[in-house]
Amino acid sequence: MARIELWNGDICDLEVDAIVNAANVSLWMSTGVGGAIKRRGGDEIEFAAVRQGPVSLGDAVVTPAGRLAAGAVIHAVSLDRDRRTSAAAIEAAVRSAMARAREIGAASLAFPALGTGVGGFPLEESARITVATVRDELARSSRIDHVVFALRGAAAYSAFQAALSVAAAGLRGGADA
């Protein structure tokens, strides 16, 4: 069974096979997680992403990670042209990110809280959707053995901690086992 971990800090610091960027359909990386990745990893990440765009809402593309410790960046498109999102878009983006991780042979990857920054999506709902979708996708991903939810601040950490607790309780109760 894959190890799922919470981490309060900058996703750019993680030494994993891939980190997930909360991307928009044009794949420009100006603010939020994308802006941080670009600042730390280099403009070449954005250039490689934009060459693959535009991308449909819910899809994902892979680029090199530039100067980051991670091996690759998976740009999961969870924001539409107006920088808004929905539960369906977040779920689709997580599924696409997991599919790209499988395609590149990633054993470890890190997710931010998709849609909760400029997208304005409720943190608790994003956490619930992301945790449930990652757990579901891990059942199809025997190679992926470590997922980190890289969160910024106590509110995000608490929301994902609660979502993981609910998911674990459901498994112990036999509902999904």
Q: Tell me the per-residue pLDDT of 57-114, one tens digit each, with 9 for 90 and over.
A: 999 999 999 999 999 999 999 998 888 899 999 999 999 999 999 999 999 999 999 9
Q: Where are the domains of the chain?
A: 3-172
Looking at domain 3-172, its CATH class is alpha beta
Q: What are phi and psi of 63, to 5 degrees?
A: -135, 165
- The per-residue pLDDT for range 135-148, each reduced to its tens digit, is 999 988 889 999 99
User: What global pTM score does this model have?
Assistant: 0.93
Query: Which of 82-86, 119-123, 131-135 is least confident?
Result: 82-86
Q: Which helix (H) or strand (E) covers residue 109, if one does?
A: strand 108-111
Based on DSSP, count helices (H) and strands (E) in the chain, helices before strands: 5, 6
- The mean predicted confidence, pLDDT, of the chain is 93
In sequence order, the β-bridge partners of residue 24 are 79
Structure-token pair, residue 169? 């309780």
DSSP for 112-160, please give it: --TTSSTT---HHHHHHHHHHHHHHHHTT-TT--EEEEEE-SHHHHHHH
Task: Give the pLDDT band of residue 155 (cuts 50, 70, 90).
Answer: very high
